[in-house]
């Protein structure tokens, strides 16, 4: 992969986790990276961790649940660098709780960040991406492709995101804009220790994992590969595509039985 000395990348959720990893990788490839997050202090700490051999990141604080802030984020990026070539919407929160134990206020909070935060960003950046024939990639989850116990609310936000991006992709493809989505299982990020319960508060103990925890670097590389090759979708683990196909062919019966057992909802 060669250097891209004139490319500008804007990344939300860029102070830690997958967003930060992608930002670091792009910076080493010569991109001018703009990292955004809610906490300015965390952004300043993240800024110090970038390689001295890459371009220093430009930092902008932004709460993606606030449309005006997202609009200003896009405007400030263009004001500083003149354009945007790549956007990675990585900001998000996680929630694990049975639906009946989930408060409406917590549900609304999650949707404001996970769904509307991406929608605002896409809406305000799309005209610019048409100009640069750029790429918009969002971080999603396998729970946005298949119902999973205790992830009804989180999964619903990702199902909505999947539907939004799939539709917009068809609308803007002829304009040269790439829309991609990365759907993963559990990834080793700080988010693992910040999972919300049904009351909207961070769980005191991170939930036990029913499946493998994937390394951060693997996910970061998937995002970069999807963006550079302008792919429609990437799944982690890769074999989930075949399992989803089998699940549909079986009318979901095997998948339901398997997932209910994994999460303690088995009827046996």
Q: Which helix (H) or strand (E) holds 229?
A: helix 216-229
* Spans in the chain with pLDDT lower than 50: 1-2
pLDDT of residue 38: 96
Q: Strand, coil or helix: what is 217?
A: helix
pLDDT of residue 267: 73
pLDDT of residue 58: 97
Tokens of 200: 């909207």
- Residues 255, 247: contact at Cβ < 8 Å? yes
> Tell me: the pLDDT tens digits for 135-162?
999 999 999 999 999 999 999 999 999 9
Q: In 10 A of CB 36, how many CB atoms?
A: 30
Give percent helix, percent strand, percent coil of the chain, each to the nearest 5: 50, 15, 35
Tokens of 72: 């200003």
CA–CA distance, 14 with 59 (Å, rounded to integer):
9
pLDDT of residue 1: 43
Sheet of 32-37, strands arranged across: 58-61, 32-37, 8-12, 86-89, 135-141, 178-184, 233-236
CA–CA distance, 193 with 237 (Å, rounded to integer):
21
- Residues 22, 224: contact at Cβ < 8 Å? yes
Burial code (b: 16+ CB inside 10 Å, e: under 16) for 44-75 equals eebbeebeeebbebbbbbbbbbbbebbbebbe
- CB-based contacts of 225-230 (< 8 A; 24+ apart in sequence): 226/137, 226/180, 226/182, 227/86, 227/88, 227/135, 227/137, 227/178, 227/180, 228/1, 230/135, 230/178, 230/180
Domains contained in the chain, CATH given: 8-237 (3.40.50.720), 244-268 (no CATH)
Tokens of 142: 């396998």
């Amino acid at each position: 992969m060669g250097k891209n000395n004139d490319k500008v990348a804007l990344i939300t959720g860029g102070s830690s986790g997958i967003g930060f990893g992608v930002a670091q990788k792009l910076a080493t490839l010569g991109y001018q990276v703009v990292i955004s997050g809610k906490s300015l202090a965390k952004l300043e700490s993240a800024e110090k961790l970038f390689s001295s051999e890459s371009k220093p990141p430009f930092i902008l604080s932004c709460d993606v649940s606030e449309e005006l802030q997202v609009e200003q984020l896009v405007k400030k990026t263009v004001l500083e660098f003149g354009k945007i070539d790549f956007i990675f919407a990585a900001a998000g929160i996680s929630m694990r709780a049975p639906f009946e134990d989930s408060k409406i206020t917590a549900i609304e909070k999650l949707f404001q960040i996970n769904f509307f935060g991406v929608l605002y960003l896409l809406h305000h950046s799309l005209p610019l991406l048409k100009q640069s024939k750029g790429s918009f990639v969002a971080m999603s989850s396998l729970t946005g492709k298949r119902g999973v116990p205790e992830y009804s609310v989180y999964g619903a936000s990702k199902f909505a995101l999947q539907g939004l991006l799939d539709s917009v992709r068809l609308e803007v493809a002829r304009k040269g804009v790439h829309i991609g989505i990365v759907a993963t299982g559990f990834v080793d990020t700080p988010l693992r220790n910040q999972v919300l319960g049904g009351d909207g508060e961070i769980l005191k103990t991170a939930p036990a994992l029913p499946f493998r925890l994937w390394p951060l670097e693997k996910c970061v590389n998937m995002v970069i590969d999807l963006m550079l090759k302008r792919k429609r979708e990437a799944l982690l683990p890769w074999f989930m595509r075949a399992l989803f196909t089998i699940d549909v062919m079986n009318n979901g019966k095997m998948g339901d039985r398997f997932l209910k057992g994994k999460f303690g909802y088995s009827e046996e």
